[in-house]
Copies of this chain bind each other. A is one copy, B any other.
């Protein structure tokens, strides 16, 4: 199975904070912090918790560049 999204970064979950609808997932990627805002349903469905090895997925059209 392949996903069209071009950016896939293997990371480790550090923290999960759940609101009513949205949740924050903080990850570590080689010393950098990644933050994803996904639905609480997704957190529950994937059973996301600190220590999990995950892949952060970002579509190329969603990435900006600063120089």
Residues of A bordering B, CB below 8 Å: 1-9, 17-25, 27, 29-32, 34-39, 41-43, 45-48, 52-67
Q: For residue A60, give the distance in angstroms from its CB to the closest CB of chain B.
A: 4
Which single member of B2, B21, B29, B55 contacts A37 (CB below 8 Å)? B21
Q: For residue A22, give the distance in angstroms from its CB to the closest CB of chain B.
A: 4
Indicate how many identical chains form the complex. Answer: 6
A35 touches B20 (CB 8 A): no
Q: Which residues of B contact A18 (CB under 8 A)?
A: 20-21
B46 touches A55 (CB 8 A): no
Given the contacts A6-B39, A19-B21, A64 and B60 also touching, CB distance less than 8 Å: no
Which single member of B29, B34, B38 contacts A4 (CB below 8 Å)? B38
